[in-house]
Amino acid sequence: TENLLIQSEKLSSAGQLAASVAHEIRNPLTSLKGFLQLMEAGMDNSGTYLKIMKEEIEKIEAISKELLFIAKPSPNELKRENLIELVGEVCLLMNSQARMHDIRLKKKFDCEEFMLNCDRSQFKQVLINLIKNAIEAMEENGTIEIHIHTKEQLLIEVMDEGPGVPEEMKEKLGEPFYTTKQNGTGLGLMVTKQILKNHGAKLEVKDREIKGSNFRISFKDLD
Ligand code: ADP
Ligand code: MG
């Protein structure tokens, strides 16, 4: 059976999200304040302090950057875009990051043009999030495949050769701040899910036959 990433409305409820954002931001803020107080008190260790402070600021920066995408609840820039070209652009963009990890992006599209009503920058963000996760899952070496099927139903698949998502974790994906990474924000899939919902699409995760996961975007109605 299929494992839906998109779950009940409870996760997108603004109140719960606000509470968890406040919590996530408070930790780095508390630590920043502590280090500032130490520096104020004249503790001569500012080199080390500054490094940690910078990391804490980067954490807050990463959280706010991802949150900006949910601040805009519905796509107001729906335009007809050539999906094939758009996905090609994202691959080009992500190629250098992939190469640094010795990872190859392999595209397989069943046509050269497919027009889709979408918000260009938001839809790119969806693909960037999925490809970034795929790279992070694989760490070093391998191939990420990006397939587009347009024949019966529009499907976009991002497939990696990483460890996959354990069955019991699948339902957690997309919950705000759920992350298994040291420096993760746990917001990427939540944002992804929200953007796709605004486009009448959904996200599922499947296991690949041999190794890795397949994050699949499917569209309900094509116009
Ligand atoms: P982050 O990447 O900051 O951790 P995401 O919302 O993008 O946040 O992902 C949440 C979690 O989902 C990740 O921490 C990871 O455990 C899991 N995950 C996402 N994509 C993959 C993937 N391609 N392979 C394995 N696990 C994944
Ligand atoms: Mg991510």
Supply the ipTM of this predicted assembly.
0.99
Take residue 122 and report the two structure tokens written for it: 């938001």
Q: Check whether 17 has a pLDDT greater than 80.
A: no
Q: How far apart are CA 124 and CA 103, in angstroms?
A: 20
Question: CB neighbours of 220 closer than 8 A, spacing ≥ 6?
Answer: 200, 201, 202
Q: Of 182, 177, 180, nearest to 162 (Cα)?
A: 180
Q: Can you tell me whether residue 151 is helix, strand or coil?
A: coil
> What 8-state DSSP symbol labels residue 102?
T
Does the beta carbon of 213 lie inside 6 Å of ligand 1?
yes
Q: How far apart are CA 139 and CA 74, in angstroms?
A: 34
Please state which of the ranges 6-15, 97-106, 177-186, 212-221 shows the lowest mean pLDDT. 6-15
Q: Of 89, 31, 28, nearest to 64 (Cα)?
A: 28
Does the beta carbon of 188 lie inside 6 Å of ligand 1?
yes
pLDDT-derived band at 47, boundaries 50, 70, 90: confident
pLDDT-derived band at 6, boundaries 50, 70, 90: very low
Question: CB neighbours of 70 closer than 8 A, spacing ≥ 6?
Answer: 17, 190, 191, 194
**Mutation test residue for ligand 1: of 3, 66, 175, 179, the one with most atoms within 8 Å of CB:** 179
pLDDT-derived band at 75, boundaries 50, 70, 90: low
Does the beta carbon of 176 lie inside 6 Å of ligand 1?
no
Residue nearest to atom 26 of ligand 1 (CA): 165
Q: Looking up tokens 């746990």, which residue turns up?
A: 186
Q: Check whether 8 has a pLDDT greater than 70.
A: no
Give the ligand at the shortest distance from the Cα of 172.
1
Distance 180 CA to ligand 2 centre (A): 10
Burial bucket for residue 171 (CB in 10 Å: 0-12, 13-18, 19+):
middle
